[in-house]
Structure 1
C-alpha cells in the first residue's frame, strides 16, 4: 500500500515536456561560406545561437535583438526613477505640490536624459 502512494507522490523537478514542445527533428542545411558567416554574424549580433537565430527566423520572420548591457543598465535606472516619481507623487498628494515641485523637475530631467541615451 505504501509503495503505491510513493509512486503517485510528486518528486519535484521540472515537468516533462509534451511531444509537441520537444525539439526532436534535426534539419541539415547546406549554405555557402558567405551565407554561413553572415548567419554567424547576425546570430552573434542578436545574442543567440545560430540554431536559435534560424528557429526565430522561421517562427517569426525576424529575430529580436537582445538588450545590450548598456541599454539594460539604462532601463534599470529608469525603473529606479519611476519608483522615485511614485514616492514624490505620494508626497505631493499628502503635503501639497509646492513642496515637491523642484524634486519632480529634477526627476523628469533625469528621465528625459536617460530616454535620449537609450534612443526611444
Structure 2
C-alpha cells in the first residue's frame, strides 16, 4: 500500500519563491492612494499587483482595452479571410482573387490606423 505517489488532484503547490508570504504596510497621503487606485484600475489589475509590477519592472504594462481587443479579434478574422483568398488564388488563378485581396488589404490598413500601429 503505497500512497505517497498518489495524485490527490487540485492545483499544484507553489514553490517557496512564488509564494506571497511577506506583507508590508505602506502609509500614503490621500492623493497618492487615489492615484494608485486609479492607475491600477486603468491597468486592469489590483492595487497590490500594480505595486508588485512597479517593483519588479519599474513600470506596469496596461492590459488591452475592450476596444483594442475587439480590433485584434477583427484582425484575426481578416487574417483568416486572407488565407482563404490565397487558397482561392492558388487554386483558380490570381486574376479572380485580385479585387477581393485589394478590399481585404484596405480594410486591414484602415483597422491598423484605428489601433495606432
Q: Once superposed, what is the RMSD of the aligned Cα atoms? A: 1.1
1:108 alignment partner in structure 2 = 105
TM-score by length of 1: 0.92
2:47 alignment partner in structure 1 = 50
1:7 deviation in Å? 4.0
The question of 1:74 aligning with 2:71 is answered yes
1:36 alignment partner in structure 2 = 33
Gaps of 5+ in 2: none
1:26, 1:98 → 2: CA distance? 66
Question: Structure 1 stretches (4+) deviating beyond 2 angstroms?
Answer: none
SS of equivalent to 2:42:
helix
2:95 counterpart (95, 98, 102): 98
Give the paired residue count: 117
More helix by share: 1
